[in-house]
Amino acid sequence: MRRVRPVDAVRRDSRSALEAVRAAWRGPGRERDLVVQSLKAAGAAVLAWLVGGVWMGDPLALMAPWVALVLVQATVFSSLVQGARQFGAICVGTLVASGAQAITDDTTGALALSVPVLMLLANWPRFGDQGIYAATTALFTISSGMVSLSAVGHRVEQAAIGAVIGVAVNALVLPPIHLRDVRENLAALAREAGEVLHTVAGDLREGEWDAQTAAGWVSASNRLDHRLKALRSARRWSQESLRLTYAPLRALH
């Protein structure tokens, strides 16, 4: 098997990136959706910093843009759900880290006491994939050296501000509504099903087919099954994107 050289891999990746930029520039599509979501996340982080760090002058304002950045999710519903989970994980991480610091009065001891517990707690299904933020918040809390009741309140407050701004930006600024994937998969399913039927009919019409030909039919039908699964996934994704995006938001989109 021919090995892929690093130079060839870089060229291929550069070509793919250039094609993605061109596709985003030409018109609506996945590439432009990705650009919009990325800019929205960046804008939410900047706005959260302006509110927490500049306007409120909070010394722990880093929590607000951090939370806002990661809460601009692919759908408004997922932003809300992930926001609640992440906020809960941050609160737990902050409280456990502060308690560990108060008990040990030592940075290393607090880390050794709190992080294993929080990493185990990160697997709790209620946190989903946001459980890791409990441990990372604990690391940030202990390493910053600012462990007090007021510091805990500031971190929780900034996390709440970031969550509100992240969800609000995602919901009010071009709310993501995923209908394009359903249309594309549905059209592709119809097209590929027609191609498979045309191929099978042609092979049967010729009257001479063997096990290899039949294996080709099976392979083509398997590809149709994969396409059908992709269509179902796209429909579920589309239905989720329509949740909590009411008529005014859809009109804005």
Q: Where are the domains of the chain?
A: 33-172, 180-252
Distance CA 29, CA 39 (A): 16
Q: What is the pLDDT of residue 211?
A: 79
What CA–CA distances, in Å, run from 95 to 88, 131, 243?
Answer: 11, 14, 33
Rounding to the nearest 10 degrees, give the CA dihedral for residues 84, 92, 45, 150: 120
Exposed (0-12), middle (13-18) or buried (19+): which is 213, by Cβ within 10 Å? middle
Distance CA 220, CA 166 (A): 44
Q: What is the pLDDT of residue 248?
A: 58
| 84 φ/ψ sector (left φ>0, alpha ψ -120 to 50, else beta) | alpha
Q: Which amino acid is at 197?
A: L
What's the token pair of residue 238? 């589309």
Which stretches of the chain score pLDDT less than 50? 1-2, 4
Distance CA 241, CA 233 (A): 12
Distance CA 239, CA 229 (A): 15
Q: What is the pLDDT of residue 46?
A: 92
Q: What is the pLDDT of residue 1?
A: 42
Q: What is the pLDDT of residue 38?
A: 84
Query: What pTM was computed for the model?
Result: 0.64
Question: What counts of helices (H) and strands (E) characterise the chain?
Answer: 10, 0
